[in-house]
Amino acid sequence: MSTPNQTSPCATCPAHRVANLTKLGVDMSNYDYVVALAGNPNTGKSTVFNSLTGLRQHTGNWPGKTVSRAEGAFSFEGKRYKIVDLPGTYSLLSTSHDEEIARNFLLFGQPDVTVIVVDGTRLERNLNLALQVLEITERVVVCVNLMDEARRRGLQVDDRLLARELGVPVVPTAARQGEGIPALLAAMAEVATGKIVCRPYRIKSEPPALKRGIEQLTSRLRAAYPNLPNARWVALRLLEGDPRIVEAVQTGELDSLAAGQATSGERSSLTIVPEAV
Amino acid sequence: MSSAPSAQEILSTASTLRWQVGASVHDSLMEALYTEAARIADKAVTRSGEQPKFDLDRTIDRIVTSRWAGFPIMLALLALVMWLTIAGANVPSALLASLFLDTIYPGLKSLAASAHFPWWLSGLLIDGMYLAMAWVVSVMLPPMAIFFPLFTLAEDFGYLPRVAFNLDRFFKKAGAHGKQALTMSMGYGCNAAGVVSARVIDSPRERLIAIITNNFAICNGRWPTQILIASIFVGSLVAPHWAGLVSATAVIGVVLMGIGFTFLVSWVLSRTWLRGEASAFSLELPPYRPPRILQTIYTSLIDRTLIVLWRAVVFALPAGAVIWLVSNIEIGNVSIAEHLIQSFDPFAVFIGLNGVILLAYVIAIPANEIVIPTVLMLTVLNARLAGVGSGAGVMFELDSMEATADVLRTGGWTVLTGINLMIFSLLHNPCSTTIYTIYKETRSARWTAVATLMPIALGILVCFLVAQVWRML
């Protein structure tokens, strides 16, 4: 594969496509797309981050090492991507500092693709977070990582079924061994460029009274902010009285968020406070 | 409602609806979420046969976190890592030292001579700055290049969270965060790295406690001091075949004393200035993973060893210049160093140390690694020993431990001086790299001052008490 040939079948095989990956490290100038890496603690987000960027963000087998956002860049098939490694969280309800960072980035940073890294050996618990992310953003790739460990434990994860259920691309990987990274890159590129349009699964099994409340508030939100991509999620947060989201409505932050979405490319200038002591 | 609702309208709608849907919104949502996650996972995952690996994880966990075996295993692993670090570092340290001191140093000297450098310039640049740098590199690089990869391997394997699990109840009793066990372990490699790793602790109060007490974990730069002094003064108290064991026990004793001070100071802080309850946290015990050995060695060499080493070198260069200057600038035919030693001596001897040690700790603030060479150089200068060392302001190391012991005894050292030096090496201000890091992490001059001065106060107190007891016996 040393001489790339347009006519050869190599051009379409994933092994060739990974040759288009250029690891750009911390050079994040002029990016075309922003990728967020979200997931539970200790699912290998930082390992995925490192294998894409060529950076050596510290990894270790214990939850909670990534203490604030880490950023890096890579270029793939001629497009430059900025990738943000978010701290691992179990939920996005903003009960801790980590969750706050992750959630604010997904909501206000408006990544073009969010890669949810889930642990293939603990799929049920990891899907809790994945479903919450799917409420916030549509453009998602689910990366079922640690497949090597799952295999060792005799677990089989049906990625096609998972993709059908979740409505977004699902890629099985073993990032420590570099397995599945080419497919992950391809899926990310396709979601970022809009080749794949996701239809994320949204929970429908709330009790009727709550459902009515959500619908009512969602329609008000849609009327006020026609371009808001995640009105339903914002409605849920408002119903729960989430102070951060109430504030975003009051200050008009939500306004600019919706506007940013409309012009696509003009990002909200909101900065996410990385750490506060 | 034809026109778009305003922000205020939306918020009031939300609060009206909140009353209508009842207080259980959160619970209903979570329930729906969990039900859906379980349903999807159940469909997507199939299990073939038994899962032997999972049982292996559990078996390992039962042993390493058990009440009776957990602590002995931790201590044994610590001892093993230390032994590998100390034993393994000797040969490369000697090689580097001979390269820097026996080959490059004379070369530089003759180069300076042929370029007609004035004596003070070649003294300042080569005897002062170059030698300090060479010392730090040859003493520091090999142990760090062994310790950090070993530590990272344990981390990669998944042992560290188990250490945190074992120590959690002690830290909780001390009013501190269980993850402080992780930052403390990191401190055994380098306190600056340990201070940075305290970022894993969410609560600012507990994070401060972790940062302030990190200095009680003896860093790599202090291990050589501990081992050398223990071998000379403690090991020599017993028959030769017991010497190794006894001096190793003395070193582990100092380590345990440091852990004791970590708990004590955490406890005092959490009941006084940093009052509060220990926050609960859930620490998942991750599965054990076979460590990726080559990658771990590579990344820990690049990311930890070289970065820490580089910072130490940057700080060692000016320190080398200062050491050379105080030994060579004379006031009334006596060097500044000797003036200082004599003025420190009364107080230093009172607390069971001596003026040389105190001055060495003042000069060697950039890196603990240069304490022992500075002590030797100052002792020779002060006692005006003839035929030893390489001249004023020139750091050196003696070939054998006996020669070092002779120099120190001639300088008036006793077993008490040795023991107190070991204690003072544990309880003194952090090196300047760490102090700077503490400031960067806390953004508070006040807490940086506390973290810097409190260990010195403790060190002086403990050394004084030990000296009193010693003199009574």
Q: What digits encode the pLDDT tens for the residues B407-450?
A: 777 777 888 888 999 999 999 999 888 898 899 888 889 999 99
Helix (H) / strand (E) containing A133:
helix A123-136
Chain A contact probe: residue of B3, B25, B295 with most A CBs at under 10 A: B25
Nearest in space to B380 (alpha carbons), one of B344, B404, B353, B346: B404
The whole-chain average pLDDT of chain A stands at 77
Q: What is the mean pLDDT of residues B303-310?
A: 71
Say how far apart CA B77 and CA B256 lie, in whole Å: 14
pLDDT computed for residue A16 by the predictor: 56
Predicted confidence at residue A60, as pLDDT, reads 52
- Report whether pLDDT(B276) > 80: no
Query: How far does B222 lie from chain A, in Å, by closest CA?
Result: 25
How far is residue B356's CA from residue B348's CA, in Å, rounded to a whole number? Answer: 9
A176 has a chain B CB within 8 A of its CB: yes
**Cβ neighbours of A64 in B, within 8 Å:** 179, 200, 283
pLDDT at A258 over 70: no
In this complex, which of A131, A220, A250 lies closest to B33 when CB atoms are compared?
A131
Chain A residue closest in CA terms to B441: A277
pLDDT of amino acid A184: 93
| Residue among A41, A127, A152 whose CB faces B53 most closely | A152
Q: What is the mean pLDDT of residues B329-351?
A: 86
Residues 6+ apart with CB under 8 A from A234: A221, A228, A245, A249, A254
Phi, psi of B177 (to 5 degrees): -85, 140
Shortest Cα distance, chain A CAs vs residue B398, angstroms: 39
pLDDT given at position A259:
59
How confident is the model at residue A6, as a pLDDT?
46
Helix (H) or strand (E) holding A34, with range, is strand A33-39
Nearest to B201 by CA among B181, B224, B229: B181
| Mean pLDDT of all residues in A218-231 | 82
- A108 contacts A268 by C-beta, under 8 angstroms: yes
Chain B nearest CA to A89, separation (Å): 12
In chain B, the residue whose alpha carbon lies closest to the alpha carbon of A57 is B303
* B294 contacts chain A (CB < 8 A): no
Q: Quick one: pLDDT at residue A56? A: 58
Put simply, whether A6 touches B (Cβ < 8 Å) is: no
Q: What is the pLDDT, as a whole number, of residue B150?
A: 83
Position A19 pLDDT exceeds 80: no
Flag if A156 and B204 touch (Cβ within 8 Å).
Answer: no
**Angle at the Cα of A221 (from A220 to A224), degrees rounded to 5?**
90
Print the SS3 string covering B393-421.
Answer: CCCCCCCCHHHHHHHHHHCCCCHHHHHHH
CA distance A172 to chain B (A): 12
The ipTM value here is 0.79
Answer yes or no: are the C-beta atoms of B106 and B126 closer than 8 Å: no
Q: Looking at per-residue confidence, does A267 or B441 come out higher?
A: B441
Residue A271 has pLDDT above 50, yes or no: no
Question: Would the pTM of this model clear 0.95, i.e. be above it?
Answer: no
Residues with Cβ < 8 Å from A97, sequence gap 6 or more?
A: A275, A276, B202
Burial class (CB in 10 A: 0-12, 13-18, 19+), A244: middle
Question: At residue B460, does pLDDT exceed 50?
Answer: yes
Interface subset of A 32-91, CB within 8 angstroms of B: 41-42, 56, 58-65, 67-68
Name the closest residue on chain B to residue A162, using Cα atoms.
Answer: B44
- Residue B187, pLDDT above cutoff 70: yes
Q: Which of B17, B151, B274, B279 to mutate to test the interface with A (most CBs of A within 10 A)?
A: B17
A96 CB within 8 Å of a chain B CB: yes
Q: pLDDT confidence of A267, banded at 50, 70, 90?
A: very low
State residue A118's pLDDT score.
94
| Span B96-154, pLDDT tens digits | 888 888 888 888 888 888 888 888 888 888 888 888 788 777 776 777 788 778 877 88
- Write out chain A residues lying below 8 Å of B155, CB-based: 60-62
Which residues from B are below 8 Å from A176, CB to CB?
289, 292
**Can you tell me the distance from the alpha carbon of A120 to that of A156, in angstroms, rounded to the nearest whole number?**
9
Confidence of residue A164 (pLDDT cuts 50, 70, 90): very high
